[in-house]
Amino acid sequence: MLLEKAEEVRRSTVGNEVHLRGIVEFSNICTQNCLYCGLRRDNRQLTRYRMTPSEIVEAAQTAKAWGCKTIVLQSGEDPWFTRDRMLDLIGQIKERTNVAITLSVGERTYGDYKAWRRGGADRYLLKHETASPALYESLRPGHKLAERLKALSWLQDLGYEVGSGNIVGLPGQTDDDLAADVELFCQKNFDMIGIGPFIAHPQTPLAGTPNGQLTKTLKVLALTRILTRDTNLPATTATGVLEPDGQRKALLAGGNVIMPDVTPAVYRKHYEIYPGKGEIPGPRAVIDMIASLGRRISQGTGSRSSPSARRPEQRGMEKVPS
- Whether the CB-CB separation of 167 and 198 falls below 8 Å is answered with yes
Q: What is the pLDDT of residues 223-274, one digit of tens each?
A: 999 999 999 999 999 999 999 999 999 999 999 999 999 999 999 999 999 9
Residue 84 has pLDDT above 50, yes or no: yes
pLDDT at residue 282, rounded to an integer:
82
Q: What is the pLDDT of residues 127-163, one digit of tens each?
A: 999 999 999 999 999 999 999 999 999 999 999 999 9
Kindly give the pairing relationship between strand 257-258 and strand 123-125: unpaired
pLDDT at residue 307, rounded to an integer:
41
- Average confidence (pLDDT) over 198-202: 97
C-alpha span between 188 and 184 (Å, rounded): 6
Beta bridge partners, 72, equal: 23, 102
Q: What is the pLDDT of residues 97-134, one digit of tens each?
A: 999 999 999 999 999 999 999 999 999 999 999 999 99
**Share above pLDDT 70 across residues of the chain, in percent, rounded to a whole number:** 94
Residue 321 has pLDDT above 50, yes or no: no
pLDDT at residue 311, rounded to an integer:
38
pLDDT at residue 278, rounded to an integer:
75
CATH no., domain 2-292? 3.20.20.70
pTM of the model: 0.93
Q: What is the pLDDT of residues 298-311, one digit of tens each?
A: 999 999 854 443 33
C-alpha span between 62 and 261 (Å, rounded): 10
pLDDT at residue 277, rounded to an integer:
86
C-alpha span between 63 and 256 (Å, rounded): 18
C-alpha span between 115 and 281 (Å, rounded): 35
C-alpha span between 15 and 261 (Å, rounded): 24
Domain extents in the chain: 2-292
